[in-house]
Amino acid sequence: MDTVFYAELSWPEVEARIAAGAPVFLPLGATEQHGRHMALNVDVVLPTAIAARAAARVGGLVLPAVAYGNRSQPRTGGGPGFPGTLNLRADTFAMIVRDVICDLHRQGARRIVTLNGHYENIGPTIEGIELALDAIGRDRTADLIILRIDHWELIRPETLDRIFPEGYPGIELEHASVIETSMMMALRPDLVDLSRAAHDGPARFRPYDRYPRPCDEVPPSGVLSLTAGSTAEKGEWLLADCEAGIVQIIHREFS
């Protein structure tokens, strides 16, 4: 079968491709509000699509995404105050990462790439990888390489300058904003309706956290920065950076 999607293959095909050294991508996402103008699955669609583009160029496989993310935070994802967002606890998320890596390793995979689309997954992914290394045995991991990538880190500064001539607000505030909206317009225009975008941002957060969370800090739309200026063309620039960045990393780390 001519597909990069692991779960669309039969077991002998997966067995053969892993034995041949195919890098295995694990997209890490979330089911989380992304404003009034986008679907809840943005953090799943983006890393899955980026992984698929990169995998097609490096002979890789893309696992089914983890579609639930670690607890959404007001300052990076809008937080729990929005209907629709479903959260995993950090330990649950870390255990999923750990178990998938351990089982891939048991089946012979030695080149594993976690590709993250949800900011709050960073910490629990690191923990999940560490727990996997503990479980496999640190003395048995000489031939194992696990890469942890956040797709937004691969956007080149030149591209950010082109998209944000007035200055980049920073990835935390980019939730449901120009970067995510543009990439979704390029990949899944059917899941974006810019006419529903409310321009009530950007969020003005305190430079610290307070619990219980104050409810006045997240713009009511759920968009933390601005949506205005999003285009499918900008989305393609961003996706091209992410794809090229991953291909470069794979060649550097796995050859």
**Which of 43, 174, 241, 243 is an active site residue?**
43
CA torsion, ordered 140, 122, 50, 218, to nearest 10 deg: 170
Residue 248's CB is within 10 A of a number of other CB atoms, namely 12
Q: Which residues ranging from 184 to 203 are in contact with Zn ion (CB under 5 A)?
A: none
Supply the minimum distance, in Å, between the C-beta of residue 34 and Zn ion: 6
User: Residue 232 — left, alpha, or beta (φ > 0 → left; ψ -120 to 50 → alpha)?
Assistant: alpha
Interface pick for Zn ion out of 23, 25, 43, 114 (rule CB under 5 A) = 43
**Which of 37, 105, 120, 151 is an active site residue?**
120
Let me know if 175 is a catalytic residue. yes
Supply the minimum distance, in Å, between the C-beta of residue 12 and Zn ion: 36
Q: What single-letter DSSP state applies at residue 24?
A: E
Supply the minimum distance, in Å, between the C-beta of residue 142 and Zn ion: 36
The secondary structure of 137-162 as a DSSP string is: -GGG-TT-EEEEEEGGGGS-HHHHHH
Where do we find the tokens 């997954």?
121
Q: Residue 60 or residue 201: which is nearer to Mn ion going by CB?
A: 201
Q: Residue 101 or residue 225: which is nearer to Zn ion going by CB?
A: 225
Q: Residue 14 or residue 197: which is nearer to Zn ion going by CB?
A: 197
Q: Residue 34 or residue 98: which is nearer to Zn ion going by CB?
A: 34
* By the rule CB under 5 A, 174 interacts with Zn ion: no
Q: Residue 42 or residue 132: which is nearer to Zn ion going by CB?
A: 42
Let me know if 153 is a catalytic residue. no
Tokens of 205: 């957060």
Let me know if 118 is a catalytic residue. yes
User: Residue 38 — left, alpha, or beta (φ > 0 → left; ψ -120 to 50 → alpha)?
Assistant: beta
Q: Do the strands 24-28 and 61-62 form a parallel or antiparallel pair, or are they unpaired?
A: parallel
Let me know if 166 is a catalytic residue. no
Supply the minimum distance, in Å, between the C-beta of residue 180 and Zn ion: 5
In the complex, which residue's CB is closest to Mn ion? 118
Supply the minimum distance, in Å, between the C-beta of residue 233 and Mn ion: 23
Q: What single-letter DSSP state applies at residue 114?
A: E
Cβ–Cβ < 8 Å for 128, 98: yes
Q: Residue 156, exposed/middle/buried by CB under 10 A (0-12, 13-18, 19+)?
A: middle
Let me know if 120 is a catalytic residue. yes
Binding region for Mn ion (CB under 5 A): 30, 32, 43, 77, 118
**Which of 118, 151, 241, 243 is an active site residue?**
118
**CA 150 to CA 119: how far, in whole Å?**
8
Among Mn ion, Zn ion, none, residue 169 binds (CB under 5-8 Å by kind): none
Catalytic (active-site) positions:
32, 34, 43, 118, 120, 175, 180
Interface positions with Zn ion (CB under 5 A): 42-43
